[in-house]
Structure 1
Amino acid sequence: MKSPPLSSPLGSYSDRDEFQAGRTLVWVLGPPERRDELVAIANMQFSEIWACSEKATATAVELSRSELPKFWRAHDDAGTSSRQLKVWGILIDAAAGSTEYDVRENLDFNPELHCPSLPLLPSKRSYRVVRTPDGVYAARAVGTSNR
């Protein structure tokens, strides 16, 4: 999917502007006096940032698999594991050159409709995946875990 440009912010706050790219929220960090410059930098990098969403999701899945092995085993067996997580938000720190992806349950897939016997991802479980300027990915879990 081609990345949409960041234009017409949904909102502006003291530390960031908020945009929407497709169904994904995007925040560009920076002080108000540098905001236009940083949004321009983020726009120049956005195709690459957008393309890295798949790697960010895969990184979150890897961590989640170590935390929730029974959940993932059931979805692997059912052939539904690739549809469990997706990027909901992208936080761009253009000044630092880093990006943070908010990866959560994919609400486009409803296991209760497709396979009612499959387990659900624990409530309020999400992952933050940071991509550093040198392309290193690191994930951490956020929220509760009901193993």
Structure 2
Amino acid sequence: MKIFYTGLVVSAFLSVSAKAQQAITVKQHHTPKPAVFTKFPGKFEVDLTPFRKAFASDISDTVSIRLSAHHSFRGVITDKVQHSPTLRTLNIKSAEFSGAMMFISLNTATDAEQPVNIRILHPRKADVMVLTQEAGKYFLVKEEQQFFLAE
């Protein structure tokens, strides 16, 4: 009789556990965000020289970085960090895109695959600009923020 009650308790427990494992339906609503970089084309070639020159500026300095013949990014340097002898980063808060930030990393190591990394993003907007390298040339490419993972 003791085995019968033990079996009954075990089967009741398994029955409750099986019901507890049922999937929960989650309703998510994706609210579209407005784009901020609408004046920029989807992809355009950039010269890295102005980005490298920005590292000569100090925190609180206003800088204007020429992205192309028709586009520039103007803002105030909010952070400048020397992570190692070969790696420096610069954060620039935009003056024209309220709340947008440009993040520039400069890696001067001889074995660096991509010596400059650039991201321009706004946390509440739908698009970001990311530096890519193709055949020795550098391009800023517009991407959707929802598919972009910030580092």
Alignment TM-score, normalising by the size of structure 1 = 0.29
Kindly indicate which of the two structures has a greater share of residues assigned to strand.
2
Q: Which has the higher contact order (CA 8 A, sep 6+)?
A: 1
With the length of structure 2 as denominator, give the TM-score of the two structures. Answer: 0.28
- Bigger-Rg structure (1/2): 2
Which of the pair is proportionally richer in helix?
Answer: 1
